[in-house]
Chain A
Amino acid sequence: MNAMTPPLNATDGRRAARSHIETPRLETPFHARLIALSETNDWYSWSGYKAPHKLFDEELEYFAIRSTAALFDISPMVKYRISGPDAERYLNRLTLRDVRKLGINRVHYTAWCDDHGHVLDDGTLFRLGEDTFRLCCQERHLPWLLDSAFGFSVDIHEETEEIAGLALQGPTSCATLLAAGFSGVERLKPFDIASFPHEAGTVTISRTGFTSDLGYELFVSRALALSLWDRLWQAGKLHGIRAIGYAALNTARIEAGFIVANTDFITAEAALRADRVRMPDEIGLDWLVDPEKPNFNGRKAILEARRNQTLKHILVGLEIEGNIPAEHAIVYHGKKREAGLVTAAIWSPTAKRNIAIATLDRPYGVKFNDDLWVEIYALRELRYQKMMKRARIVPRPFVKLARRTLTPPGTF
């Protein structure tokens, strides 16, 4: 994508072209702050970036989300800037929801499919202006996005590297932002966006998040990243701000009932086996599909599958008896017939329930909703404790908090 300076000669050119292998793991714009705060030195790779699994204590980090304010680096999230006179029409063909209904300075959650109606990814779409959007997602999609642009007057630009992102989530997140001088942020309703001056530039703040709690996401150019972190950190001191890693966030997102691409479902481009792909209706995203709006990728296949009742799977929330997380447990019907698989499971600290997200093979989860069981293998000192536990299909989210939507948010 970036034009390279013409090399002096062929050998130098070859050397320059392979320099990327010398940086096998990238650092995010906030790395200097994260590494200073990391007590556990526990990192993982998020799309090639070094990201904290936890920074000091998984449990305390989780309670920062639910009790105070948690600061989470979302810079590795893949971000595309989509702009141009046809941007709305382009995105309307690309994604499932009706982008015409997405107002300026609003965000919506959406997903997109290939021609066969198989989900390529889910993500959030930010409408930053009449003709300017930002699409955030888990996987990289530039070839698909560029190929989709044929016939549209639209410019697509990946800005993952140049835009830094922070999620500030938790009951005192609004108070923290106000203390940091972002006055007016209290007026943001869920999925609203506003821009605020920061240093010589601006920071875009949206009332969004992955926690089902009161929370915000902030986007800023890479150069202003550290000063933004410091501004929040300073302001948040009296509001209990804590930096957190993914483990804590993952607990919160399961409570929220959110799914993660290539964790709770396999994306169409990642799936190697023919039966692993999923239609929106098979991963709980049927509500995103808008048959009334103009044509979009996968429309015909999705509607045909509904009409012909050829949908094969369904994604459900489960509540499981006991308190042992049923991670990757097999789900049975009548304790015998295999009915599906648990893709994510935790003991929910807030709901005080043993919860799980599971993918079931229809008609389980549709016709047969009772008599479901999960087989949990708990490895305890080199011995499996096998348990067959009753599971009940329950609605998601597992945790619903009034403060998530209350505007203006309460002051804590």
Chain B
Amino acid sequence: MTSFDSASKAYDAIVIGAGHNGLAAAAKLGASGRKVLVLEAANEPGGAMRGREFAPGFRSAGLAHLINRLDPDVTRDLGIRLTSSTAMPTSVLDGDKQPVVLHGAYGDSIDGVSADEAAAFIRMRDKLIFQAGILKRFLRRASPQLGAIGMADLATFASAGFGLIRKGRGEGRDFLRMMLMNVADVADEYLEHDRLKALVAFDATLGIHLGPRSPTSLLGLYYRLTGEVAGRAGGQFIPEGGMSAVAPAFIKAAEKAGVIIRCGTSVGRIVADRGRASGVILADGQEIAAPVIVAAVHPQTAFLQLVDPAESGTGFTRSLRNLRTAGNVAKLDVALDRIPSFLNLRPSDHAGRIVLARSMEQVERAFNPAKYGEFSTDPVMEIVLPSLADASLAPSGACTLSALVQYAPHKLKMGWEASKPLFLKIILDTLERHAPGISKSIVAAHLSTPADIEADYNLPGGHWHHGELQADQLLINRPTGAASGYTTPIEGLYLASAGAHPGGGISGLPGWNAARHILSGARP
């Protein structure tokens, strides 16, 4: 049993990494009266939500540029208030025809398509949201452990089963049929419209090394739809104060819970002996003891760098080294001297999410080169203009643009050093096609490839989910069997990052779940 009451210990728990999951874990542990220390290697907390000035006078709020899955239980429990009065629309542009604009939570109403198409989309959306809702039951608790299924697991299974039965036999059958399908086949079953298909194909594969036609690609869309905004699945928003307000909200929650956050403090090693963790040694040699160590960093960082491999089993390190964690998304920050204008897009929709994708086939073809270590020459991307929600990001009258660009494989055959300028040019040319004249208003453009993301945020592979969100790396296999469920083969060492169940995105769930698991006193 983990002991917190030992007076000789200065800290009850040490959390490594002050990303939002580390902070969520620390806040939850702190709120229970535990004395918690958070150690962050960077000079400020926030992890991948750490902002920075990428050009004089222009700031980026970090990797994420909108929120679509922040968990309401987490925010309520930790007292985090991040809200917005307006839901963001999603506009899908092909650079030619009128945009397709989805309003409300994932297309409550849709502009730019026929009523029949809109109805077909809603039918598909509702089916997928229902099915995602079944999976969602598993997100807020540790994933069930093979060989040790507990009452609570059975209750979750039962409620999932009951959810299915209540909707009738056909729904249950359809769920079991569709679960591991590819998003393209599902889209083809329901939709005709190119850009609606393009949107679901894009949303299912964003941040994942799959094309729409790859088996199981629908899981990515389910994952998106397990997220909710204001009680509605599939929505998205930028909080008041912009994305720069997200990290401080988590920091505040942690500090309110009495958590001490030490930045610029790099952990050199997690101290473990014969399967039991007892503290950390900082890069400067200082040793800090604690009975509970919470690694809110990439699982490979935790177990291949911070823990002496001699303390892990060969099979465990092998499975971690085999973790598929090569990033596929590039992040672009552009400084503009004015607000851009996308073709045929209403001014108000510029404050929403803009997806550049002509068709499902374009998404598929953009993926093809990534399989062979090449970037797409006709990329698809998601764009947000962050300074519209947070004026402090750009000088008055100017604007920032943030884009997540698929597909940009981490291991580029030609090497990113040599190829980055060409990829940037391709992206900017794509922007110019969709927003004529934008090139002339560019003050600066900063492209972070997965290689850059890896270096900037200490994320192996530059993968923002800390490992592919695919069937073989989910639930009882996240990040790998022996370390799923927040406990790890090393007693007293817990995993609380996006690499743990349920996965990445700004949800706070991995950190919050890990802390709850630790507090429950469950044995590994």
- Whether chains A and B associate is yes
**Stretch of B280-288, B308-316, B460-468 lying at the A interface:** B308-316
Q: Are the CB atoms of A295 and B310 closer together than 8 Å?
A: yes
- Residue B275 CB within 8 A of the other chain: yes
Q: A114-B315, A115-B482, A300-B489 are contacts. A150–B273 as well, Cβ < 8 Å? A: no
Given contacts A294-B273, A294-B274, A299-B275, contact A152 B313 (CB under 8 A): no
B 226-259 binary contact with A (CB < 8 Å = 1; else 0): 0000000000000000000000000000000000
Residues of A within 8 A of B308 (CB): 151
- Complex interface bits, A289-301 against B, C-beta within 8 A gives 1, otherwise 0: 0010011011110
Is residue A93 within 8 Å, beta carbon to beta carbon, of the partner chain? Answer: yes
Chain A residue nearest to B319 (CB atoms) is: A115
B424 within 8 A of A: no
**Bound-state Cα–Cα, A298 to B310, Å:** 12
B441: chain A residues within 8 A (beta carbon): none
User: What residues on B are CB-neighbors of A152 within 8 Å?
Assistant: 309-310
With both chains docked as a complex, state the minimum distance between the C-beta of B490 and any C-beta of chain A, in angstroms: 9
Shortest B276–chain A CB gap in Å is: 9
Task: Check if B311 sits within 8 Å of A295, measured CB to CB.
Answer: yes
Could you tell me the distance in whole angstroms from the C-beta of B222 to the nearest C-beta in chain A?
Answer: 31
A150, B304: Cβ atoms closer than 8 Å: yes
A328 at interface by CB-CB < 8 Å = no
A200 to B: closest C-beta gap in Å: 39
**A150 contacts B309, CB within 8 Å?**
yes
CB distance from B302 to the nearest CB of A (A): 13
Total A-B contacts with CB atoms under 8 angstroms apart: 53
How many chain-A residues does the 8 Å CB contact rule pick out? 21
- Residues from chain A with a CB closer than 8 A to the CB of B316 are 115
Q: B198 CB to closest chain A CB, in angstroms? A: 41
Task: Verify if A22 is at the interface (C-beta below 8 Å from B).
Answer: no
- Given contacts A115-B315, A150-B304, A89 and B310 within 8 Å (CB-CB): yes
Given A299-B274, A300-B275, A294 and B315 touching (CB < 8 A)? Answer: no
The reply to whether B274 and A147 form a contact with Cβ atoms under 8 Å apart is no
Contact B313 A297 (CB under 8 A): yes
Known contacts A150-B309, A151-B304, A297 near B314 by CB under 8 Å: yes
C-beta contact mask, B423-441 vs A, less than 8 Å → 1, else 0?
0000000000000000000
A94 CA to B313 CA in the complex, in Å? 9
Asked if A144 is at the interface (CB within 8 A of a chain B CB), the reply is: yes
B318 on interface, CB distance cutoff 8 Å: yes
User: Is A148's CB within 8 Å of the partner chain B?
Assistant: yes
CB-CB < 8 A to A116: which residues of B?
315
For residues 309 through 333 of chain B, which have their beta carbon under 8 Å from a beta carbon of chain A?
Answer: 309-311, 313-318, 321
CA separation between A114 and B313, bound complex, in Å?
A: 7
Interchain CB contact under 8 A, B274 and A115: no
Across the interface, do B314 and A151 meet the contact criterion of CB distance under 8 Å?
no
With both beta carbons as reference points, the residue of chain B lying nearest to A148 in the complex is identified as: B314
Give the interface centre of B304, B310, B489 by most chain A CB atoms within 10 Å.
B310
A297 to B317, CA, bound (A): 11
Q: CB within 8 Å of B: which residues of A?
A: 89-90, 92-94, 114-116, 144, 147-148, 150-152, 291, 294-295, 297-300
Using A115-B315, A294-B310, A297-B314 as known contacts, list a sample of 15 further A-B pairs with CB atoms less than 8 Å apart, ordered by residue number in A.
A93-B310, A114-B313, A115-B314, A116-B315, A147-B317, A150-B318, A151-B308, A151-B317, A152-B309, A294-B274, A295-B273, A295-B311, A297-B313, A298-B313, A299-B275
The 28 listed contacts between A and B (C-beta, < 8 Å) are: A90-B310, A94-B314, A114-B313, A114-B314, A114-B315, A115-B313, A115-B315, A115-B316, A115-B489, A147-B314, A147-B321, A148-B314, A150-B304, A150-B309, A150-B321, A151-B304, A151-B308, A151-B309, A151-B310, A152-B310, A294-B310, A295-B272, A295-B311, A297-B314, A297-B315, A298-B313, A299-B274, A300-B489
